[in-house]
Amino acid sequence: MQYGYFDDEMREYVITRPDTPYPWINYLGCDEFYGLFSNTSGGYCFYRDARMLRLIRYRYNNVPTDSGGRYFYLKDGDDVWTPTWKPMKSKLDRYECRHGMGYSRISSARNGLAYSQTSFIPLGDKCEIHKITLTNESNADKNIDMFSFIEFCLWNANDDMTNFQRNFSIGEVEVEGSRIYHKTEYRERRNHYAVWAVNVPVAGFDTDRQTFLGLYNGFDEPQVVFKGEADNSIASGWSPIGSHHIKTKLSAGESQTFVFVLGYCENPEDDKWENAQQAASGIINKKPANAMLEKYSTAEAADKALAALNDYWKNLLGRFTVEAEDKKMARMAGVWNQYQCMVTFNMSRSASYFESGIGRGMGFRDSNQDLLGFVHLVPERARARILDIAATQFPDGSAYHQYQPLTKRGNNEVGSGFNDDPLWLIFGVAAYIKETGDYSILDEKVPFDNDETLADTLFVHLQRSFNYTLNNKGPHGLPLIGRADWNDCLNLNCFSKTPGESFQTTANFESGIAESVMIAAMFVFVGPDYVELCRRVGRNDKAELAEKAIAAMVEAINLHGWDGNWFLRAYDAHGKKIGSKECEDGKIFIESNGFAVMAGIGLEDGRAQKALDSVKEHLDTPYGIVLLQPAYKEYHLELGEVSSYPPGYKENAGIFCHNNPWITIAETMLGRGTRAFETYTKICPAYREDDSDLRRMEPYVYAQMVAGKDAERFGEAKNSWLTGTAAWTFVSISHFILGVRPVYDGLLIDPCIPANMKSYSVTRHFRGADYHITVDNGAGVEKGVKSITLDGKPFEGKVLPVFGDGKVHQVVVVMG
């Protein structure tokens, strides 16, 4: 069943009933201030860091699901309801939620009162705007009471959820007219506060949760609202909230609009108080709040800010657009997939409805991969991101697995030793240079281990990355796996027996033996980019050495990484094979096969095809390709977390969507367009829209995992939004299927599509020009370019030149 539909014109997903199979969310904000916003107005917002500077309290894994957010209660006579459905789960005469690019709009109606709430974060400001319009659709006058409600988080979301002995005594607010200020801890070391305001006079307010709700009531039973009268409570400790009471009279047909703003404000350390002499009076300096609220004090101003936001997204997504008969593919590749890539750029893996915003920093490997999804959209920001990531690399080439976005420093708790990490830096930098042609980034001086005194050029960083793999090989000449490779859960040196121990940071058994065929294949996959970059900066000596090293790695894979019908996955700490027909469970894995074929291994002698055929035979399902088979039925000390999951979930034979595109790309290398497209569509959410009861996650975004065939809930997705799936699927569809791929010297045209896809067109912004590319597959082939016409003239070769002239260039590609 479907719970909505795509409005392609508006670039919106329209949810038509509130009780979706899971909260279906959107992200507000594109800069430094962000909000998570569910289809019933649940969620929270934060400034820069979801853990350290959170404005709205949000309880994860709460009952009922998705409790807390920005709520507005309406009262018409004795009738009380919440027009966003939650928290009261009110019966509504109509309901619709439109999630658009950086904004959401919930519209509903009950008993002749229409409600519309448009929520967004304006460009360049640190606030959420909620523009609310009430319309009296009945024939009689209505006297309406509206109550706003948010619950303040005491900033540090982790403390907020745990440190009650302190927290219940520190909450402080200030109220001035329609403006409620949350100033907990401002008296001491913070120089920031929140303001929750509305642009009209209020009849009253509340700031104490117990007063507003009643101690034993939920959000669905606020006693103040039922009473119809605010209490003007001032919170002192306990749980500060912000609630405005607005009384309004609407004659028949009349509309009224209110602009609510929830903002984050900072003052200079020496200008914190309204009056320097009166710090003790505790009256905060409201200048920044006044300026912000002044700016958004009218509906017109809010509309203008929303229009600017729309322009921002229109321009951004205009850099890559798709037109095709297959609307699902076109809307995913052209709009939603890129949108999700921007969200993973902004959030990394920190805040979603599955990531609590307090746990994980930015991942070294994740961030490098995410880059592939947005480097064409925001190349300057990708450049800055690369330099941040590289600065957390150690002098020996290894890397902190994670770093904190606020401090940009490596995270000691997780540390290093994930032996694939260094290679992802080469991968990310190469992608950036192919997109931009900006080699100057290689000359940037970048610290090692965040230590300026250890700084060297980014090129040296890449060298160390490459050499790290070479310096850390095992008995078969394959790279040592360390704590794990891309598969965080293949922990071959862990041997953990203690419940609760982290599989990633526990190393009870430093074998110096366990090897990864996946890292080996990855080395062969990214190695040529390193060679190319060496050449381009005039280091032929290094290029030649690197080529030899790559050849040696291919040799090692040929000798020790092939299992007869597919590529092996690894050798464990005892030198035993993993991912082999000799194994009882985990006979075949997806990762090494995807990477080996992407690296071109076995293309000549038929092993590549054999490997992909084996993947299809053993790992394929209607919902995507599972990570391994057979699933591990019991916990293996020598394998770690992968065997800790029940069969069919996560890395233990779940459909780990992130790695499916590797098979898609590998299939295009064999020229099998139909199969490539099939693997693309199986995990693509738009193709499962009418299967939402089973899939459960948003039909407009990729999920990290779909339960595999061994799982009880085969086909059910989890962990939507923050996943490397976004970037990789974008690469697979745009670079390899539609075949518009940035390379060092231009834009390569190399489609690989199903024979029955007769035509499509792509607009691609590339290094300062736009390429309008029409592909004609009247011949009905899967791969092969017969001719290219560029700006009306025949063009030789497949790499379109760099124009950089700000113009639109017409490209007609005929396949055959």
Q: Catalog residues that contact ligand GLC under the rule CB under 6 A.
A: 349, 363, 365-366, 486-489, 504, 650-651, 658, 704, 723-724
Q: Partners of 775 in the beta sheet?
A: 760, 813
From the list 120, 130, 125, 133, the residue with the least C-alpha distance to 313 is: 120
Q: Which two tokens stand for residue 67?
A: 């409790």
Q: Which of 145, 160, 366, 488 is catalytic?
A: 488
Chain centroid to Cα 371, Å, comes to 11
Known catalytic membership, residue 488: yes
235 or 399: CB nearest ligand GLC: 399
Residue 3's identity, in one-letter code, is Y
Q: Which two tokens stand for residue 74?
A: 């309406």
Q: How far is the CB of 399 from ligand GLC (least distance, A)?
A: 12
Return the DSSP state at 222. -
Q: How far is the CB of 602 from ligand GLC (least distance, A)?
A: 24
CA angle 151/154/158 to nearest 5° reads: 110
> What angle, 0 to 180 degrees and rounded to 10, lies between the N-to-C axes of helices 540-560 and 458-471?
30
From the list 70, 66, 62, the residue with the least C-alpha distance to 45 is: 70
Pair 346, 30: CB distance under 8 Å: yes
Q: How far is the CB of 724 from ligand GLC (least distance, A)?
A: 6
Q: How far is the CB of 285 from ligand GLC (least distance, A)?
A: 41
183 or 349: CB nearest ligand GLC: 349
From the list 625, 778, 727, 655, the residue with the least C-alpha distance to 341 is: 727
Q: How far is the CB of 335 from ligand GLC (least distance, A)?
A: 23
Q: How far is the CB of 689 from ligand GLC (least distance, A)?
A: 24
First to last CA, the chain: 40
487 or 692: CB nearest ligand GLC: 487
Q: How far is the CB of 412 from ligand GLC (least distance, A)?
A: 15
90 or 660: CB nearest ligand GLC: 660
The contacts of residue 69 (CB under 8 Å, 6+ apart) are 37, 38, 40, 41, 42, 43, 44, 56, 58, 86, 150
From the list 394, 399, 392, 404, the residue with the least C-alpha distance to 417 is: 399
363 or 594: CB nearest ligand GLC: 363
| Residue with nearest beta carbon to ligand GLC | 488
436 or 487: CB nearest ligand GLC: 487
257 or 419: CB nearest ligand GLC: 419
C-alpha count within 13 angstroms, C-beta hemisphere, residue 205: 23
CA distance 452 to 778: 58
Q: What phi, psi does 123 have (nearest 5°)?
A: -60, 135
CA distance 774 to 769: 16
Q: Partners of 119 in the beta sheet?
A: 104, 130
Q: Which two tokens stand for residue 490?
A: 């293949």
Q: Strand, helix or coil at 335? A: helix
Reading phi first (left if > 0) and then psi (alpha if -120 to 50, else beta), residue 745 is in alpha
Q: How far is the CB of 349 from ligand GLC (least distance, A)?
A: 5
Q: Strand, helix or coil at 702? A: coil
Q: Catalytic residue positions?
A: 488
